[in-house]
Amino acid sequence: MKGWKNPILLILGIGISNIGNWIYFVAINLLVLKLTGSAAAIAGLFIIRPLAILLTNTWAGSVIDRVNKRKLMIYIDIIRGVSIAVIPLFTSLIPIYIIMFLTNVAGAFFGPTSETYITKLIPAEKRKRFNSMFSFATSGAMLIGPSVSGLLIMYGSINTSIYVNAVTFFFCAAAIYFLPDVDGNQGKEQYRDRITVKMISNDWKAVIDFGRTAVGFMLVFLIFQFIMLISFALDSQEVTFIQQVVGLSEKNYGLLVSLTGAGYVAGSFAVASLANRLSVKLLIGMGSFLSVAGYVMFYIASSGTVPLAVIGFIIIGFFSPFSFTGYTTFFQNNVPVDLMGRFSSAFAFFQAILQIVLTLLLGYLAEALHLQTVSIVFAVIALLLAAFLTLVVFMQSKQNLFVLDAETNLTEKG
């Protein structure tokens, strides 16, 4: 494990934060449902993040690519920790929404920033293994978080779960503090260039120019993102579906999410063990198709078919790490690191618009028609897109889009 000290510290910091996020995810859903009893209010939770992205991501990338990534991640985690900690002070929905919005504004910077930092920190030949290990940590968080949240709610309160989430952000900030600075003197110059409309315009032009010259990459990227957006829209109705259609209680909902986490852990372990034997093509194609197939199976389930819902959730959990590892490695190897923040932020802007539209559309159709029928239709559309994505990745003429340069070199030497 020589040379893995810093990557493991990074995984530990973000992994602990992810555990907190899952503790918070269960708590905030139950809190809003308790306050309102409304499926629309729950759906509103899933719209806050894309709204925050719409506000920030037209210009966030211009900041991210010009500032010190390590320092920015530390500041973001501190801001999020403080913001989450004050939620229990309020008992009405609107201030909770406002705090969550501000938290997500800060969080809109973290994703693109961490992507760029990871790409700079991790050498190309270690990325696939790192991504599989990172996926394993994420899966552990998915398994541990809801279980811990359930125990905290059972023996404490929903507010206890929220406070624990705040603490995990501070822990993540501390872990990142001990990581190396990959930007050199960039942090000292971060305020030297003022962000202007002209600069932002030129940055968007750079992203568009890259997209025009990387057609194969963009095709895979766009299909994968659209599949994820449909999945997010389906997730917005997950609690309502489980309680109203499948007929499970709040405690059983937490157990079901934990089973998904168990599947995710098993899948992540499999990917980590086989990372050097599985191609990026196979990871993206097989992982996407089979994880979406789990969604279809889950939404076919209804009252009296709980085992089918459980199997569907486990399948989603098991194969999601395959698609995550493949896509993340694919992204890191094909987007220039000095453009990565701007690219991620620019497309997150459009993704946020689509996520809002799809979430509202699904919520409206679920109210107007039938939640299960609409959910199955959305899941089948995602499955068809996943099948097309699998076809595309195996028909790509530019094979280097799906193979690490280091792997190619090792093959040639062998």
Residue 189, in any domain of the structure: no
The model's pTM is 0.76
For residue 10, give the nearest of 164, 148, 126 by alpha carbon. 126
CB atoms within 10 A of CB 175: 21
Which pLDDT score is estimated for 386?
95
Which pLDDT score is estimated for 190?
47
Residue 193, in any domain of the structure: no
Q: Look at the block and give the residue holding tokens 């905290």.
A: 152
For residue 268, give the nearest of 319, 217, 209, 211 by alpha carbon. 319
Residue 188, in any domain of the structure: no
Please name the residues in contact with 94: beta carbons below 8 A apart, sequence gap of 6 or more: none
* Tally of domains in the chain: 1
Residue 194, in any domain of the structure: no
Residue 261, in any domain of the structure: yes
Kindly state the average pLDDT of the residues 214-223.
90
In one-letter notation, the amino acid at residue 29 is N
pLDDT single digits (tens) 124-180:
888 888 888 888 787 677 667 777 887 888 788 888 888 998 999 999 999 999 999
Which band of pLDDT confidence, cut at 50, 70 and 90, is reported for residue 191?
Answer: very low
Which pLDDT score is estimated for 407?
45
Residue 185, in any domain of the structure: no
Domain span including residue 92? 5-180+199-413
Which pLDDT score is estimated for 236?
75
The domain spanning residue 290 has which CATH number?
1.20.1250.20
pLDDT single digits (tens) 306-365:
788 788 888 988 898 899 899 998 999 889 888 998 998 888 888 878 888 888 888 888
Which pLDDT score is estimated for 39?
67
Ranking 37-41, 81-85, 379-383 by mean pLDDT, the lowest is: 37-41
Which pLDDT score is estimated for 250?
63
Mean pLDDT for the chain overall:
82
pLDDT single digits (tens) 242-275:
777 777 766 677 677 767 777 877 888 898 888 7
Kindly state the average pLDDT of the residues 290-302.
86
Which pLDDT score is estimated for 405?
41
Q: What b-and-e string marks burial along 334-355, b requiring 16 or more CB atoms within 10 Å of the CB? A: bbeeebbbbbbbbbbbebbebb
Instruction: Decide: 295 and 382 in contact? Cβ < 8 Å.
Output: yes
Which pLDDT score is estimated for 193?
62
CA 203 to chain centre: 24
Kindly state the average pLDDT of the residues 282-287.
90
- Number of Cα atoms under 13 Å in the Cβ half of residue 376: 12
Which band of pLDDT confidence, cut at 50, 70 and 90, is reported for residue 185?
Answer: low
Kindly state the average pLDDT of the residues 108-114.
88
Residue 318, in any domain of the structure: yes
Return d(Cα 75, Cα 187) in angstroms, integer.
13
Which pLDDT score is estimated for 356?
81
For residue 135, give the nearest of 266, 325, 318, 310 by alpha carbon. 325
Residue 88, in any domain of the structure: yes
Please state the φ and ψ torsions of residue 334, each to the nearest 5 degrees: -120, -20
Helix (H), strand (E) counts: the chain: 16, 0
